Structures are given as C-alpha cells and as structure tokens.
Amino acid sequence: MTVRVRFAPSPTGYLHIGGARTALYQYLFAKAMGGTYVLRIEDTDLERSKREYEESQIGDLKWLGIEHGEGPDIGGEYGPYRQSERMQIYGDIAWKFIEEGKAYPCFLTSEELEELTEKANAEKIAPHAYHGKYRDYDLAEAKKRIEAGEEYVIRFKNPGKKWTFTDLSRGEVTFPEDMVGDFVIIRSNKMPVYNFCCAVDDCLMKISHVIRAEEHLNNTVRQLMIYDAMGAEPPQFCHVTLLVGEDRQKLSKRHGATSVTQYKELHYLPQAMTNYLCLLGWSHPEEKDIFDVNELGEKFDLSRFSKTSAMYDIKKLNFVNEQWLRALPDADIAKGMTIALGTDSEFNKQSDEWKVKFASIMKEKIQLFSDVESHLPIFFDPAAEEDDQYKEAIAWETTAQIKTYLNEEVSKLSGDFIDESLVDTWMNHLKSELKIKGKPLFMGTRVCLTGRAHGPDLKSVVSLTPLEIVKKRLS
C-alpha cells in the first residue's frame, strides 16, 4: 500500500497546539512508511477563512519541521488543495449522487424543520426521523422547482445499515443504522458540508490513512457512507485522544498559550516542541523522554498511542525545552538570547564574545532564552539584592575588611571589564595577609563584588560585569 496522509486545517485562526500534534503524527507516520504527507486547506467557511491564517499555519508547520509533499503552496498531482477551489468537484459529485438515487434535493424550509424538530422532541424520537420528506420526491418535479428559483439543500440518503470499521488505535467500532438520518451535503447557499467534502477529497486524493483527534470519531459514519456511494475503499482510521488541561477539560485558551505562534513568540525551540508534542499520547519504544522526532524512523508505530487523554503540562514542556537548550552550542544559545531579549536589553549592548561566555555560564540556569532577563541584574545593577543571607554576610567584620581591600584594588583598574584571574589574586591575598578563610572569605568576596549571596561562578560573573558597576558596588 502506498501511504498517503493529510493534514486539513481550517484557516480561521492560528494553528492550535492540538492540530500541530495531529499534523506531527501524520508527518511521522508518512515518514516511517515512506509515504506522502499532504496539506489540504479546508476553507469552505468563506467569511472566517483568511489567507493570512493559511500562511501563518503553513509557516508554523515549517517552523516545527513538518514539511508537506503536496499542498496549496507547492501543488501536486491531486490538486487543487484548497477546498474553496474545488466547488465544482463537490457540486458535480452531489448531482451525480442525485442521478444515481443516492441523494436528493430537499425543499424543507427553516420553519418546517423547526416544527418537525419540535414534534420529534415531543415524541422523544430522533429529529432526523422526520427530515426525509423529499426522499422519494419525483426528480423531474424537483428540477422544475429548482429552475424556478426555489431554495433547497441536497441530502444524502442513509442506506439504513450498520457501519463498522477497524480503528488502528481503538479496534472495531460500529455505528447503528439509525445514528444519523438523511444528512445535508450541500447547503442552500451551494456550499458543501464538512463531512461531504472531507470524504470526497480523501477519496480523490487517494488518502490511505486518516489520523485525527477522537472528537471526529462520530463524523466517520457519514464519511463511510460517502466513500461507499463513490464506490471507493475507505482509508484506515486512527483516532487519537484529545489534549486536556490540568483540570482534565479539553485544552483551550483558559489553560494558557494554545497556538504554535504563541510558543514561537515565547522563544521555545521547535525541536523541543515536536519532542514534547510527540509524547502527548504516544510513547517511545525505548521509553525516552528526550529525542529528535526526525530520527524516529520506523520506531513511530501507530500501535503506541495511549487510550487515555493526554494532559498538557507546561512544566514538562519547559523541562524538555531546557534539555534541548542546554545541548545547543554556546554561540547558538547566545543568538537565541539575543533574539529573545530585544535591542533595549543591556545584554544586546555587549560584544558577541561577551554573549557567548555569558551563555556558557547561564545555560544551566534557564529553561527559555527569555529567562536570562531575570539574571541580568547581577551583571548590570549596582544595587544589592538584600535578602537575609546577603544581610548576614555583609554585616560580618571580615566582609568590611574584604570590601576595603577590594575597593582599593578595583579603583586601580581601567578598561571595560575585570580579568577573571584577578579574583584568584585578590582571594589569595585576603587569605594569606588578612587571614580570612572559608565561608567568610568566599561569601564575603561574593557579596562585595556581585551584591548577591548566591549566583553563577564568581570569576565568570566578575569578568562579565562592567568595571564601573563593580566600582559602584564597592564604593
């Protein structure tokens, strides 16, 4: 079998993190099977669909490393790949169904539909039981009414049988024959309905596997009917669990950032995002938490999907990002910090050499590039961070001696920064001449030079702190 999968977002907003996970699973499966990953744009909602959202979604997918082999921007054998450009196809197939007795024009008005629904509710039966009024209506008569300009929809005739398929994640699934009635496939405004175009496109684009969220499970019965009416073998389905927040509710804006664009703007690493997204409902065969999804190859197996909803945990994402960040070369970390902090930051006023050294000592203390902002005061703020430990150390008599000595030594210096070797020279003098040792020596020297009781390696901090800042701390 030639594997062909598709990701079909609607360009009515930015790419949701749940959609990105689905796209990733499809991409990895196609890659593992030597198949093709297709991008299809479901833009039949003409009022809400915007080209800027389409471009944003494609950009976000590419940022994540998810590259499609066919799509609206690059074309392909089975295009066009925007549903808005396939309207003639849907209309022709809908009328073919009518001619074959598989669908029919329905002239029920909205008032009639409302009345029938109320009647069904009163009798406690499914509303669709009454919606087949025009099921066996004379086609010639229907065409006359259409030519006269009467409004209508096209309904698909439910064949009235059970539908069973084997889900690659859930096993056998059966839908009862009365689950749906004669459902609409073309609205009165001539726009095709989601389940109709989705099934038509999957059939014509020769999609072999449909991997999607479980919220689409009930759509499958309508789509199976369409495949059957087209005389096509349906694709294999795999429905994965939904993403939920810590409250076990479907992931939404109330849980924080939910679009890929937001995570890009927060300067997460794309390889960390795909690593974490892959873990949300899928388990690595070697039980790894940190891995490059592009190196999974045939290890990506659909049988490894979880049967329970995956909880989106920002703390776990931050941990994964931290691991990927630390593995980067120091120069790349410095570049990431440069972008994250912006031109007004003191960080970006320093030399490239300074930034790389800074990155080398700070990478173990951050999870995101932007986290360094909170660490900059130790380098650029002459004011002390007066916590309890600082207050204790600065009050020692030995600290007063250290401060006097260091002030004398530093006042002799010129230039922009202090050579870190001087820190050893000063501490050796304090130890040998002033007999200050142990904690009083190390803590006292740190609070005098940095204004803090704790921090990164003292020599590195001193060498990266502007000389004028150190002088102000000692004065």
Query: Which pTM was predicted?
Result: 0.91
Measure the CA–CA gap between 384 and 374, rounded to whole angstroms.
14
Give the tokens for residue 291: 């891995």
Distance (Å, whole) CA 21 – CA 19: 5
The residues of the chain that CATH labels 3.40.50.620 are 1-72+241-327
The mean pLDDT of 413-434, rounded to a whole number, is: 96
Query: Each residue of 65-88: pLDDT tens digit?
Result: 999 999 999 999 999 999 999 999
The 8-class DSSP code of residue 87 comes to H
What is the C-alpha separation between 71 and 59, in angstroms, rounded? 13
Cβ-Cβ contacts under 8 Å for 267 (sequence gap 6 or more)? 336, 339, 340, 368, 369, 370
Give dist(CA 463, CA 422) in Å, integer. Answer: 9
Q: Is the pLDDT of residue 451 over 90?
A: yes
Residue pLDDT, tens place only, 108-142: 998 988 888 888 788 777 766 667 889 999 999 99
Residue 118 pLDDT: 82
Q: Is the pLDDT of residue 435 over 90?
A: yes
pLDDT tens digit sequence for 252-274: 767 767 899 999 999 999 999 99
pLDDT in tens, 282-303: 999 999 999 999 999 889 999 9
The DSSP output letter for 403 is: H
Token pair of 435 as six digits: 């007999």
What local confidence, expressed as pLDDT, does residue 257 receive? 73
Task: Give me the architecture of the 1-72+241-327 domain, per CATH.
Answer: 3-Layer(aba) Sandwich (3.40)
DSSP assignment of 168-237:
TTTEEEEE-TTSS-S-EEE-TTSPBPHHHHHHHHHHHTT--EEEEEGGGGGGHHHHHHHHHHTT-PPPEE
**Each residue of 199-251: pLDDT tens digit?**
999 999 999 999 999 999 999 999 999 999 999 999 999 999 999 888 888 88
Helix (H) or strand (E) holding 370: none
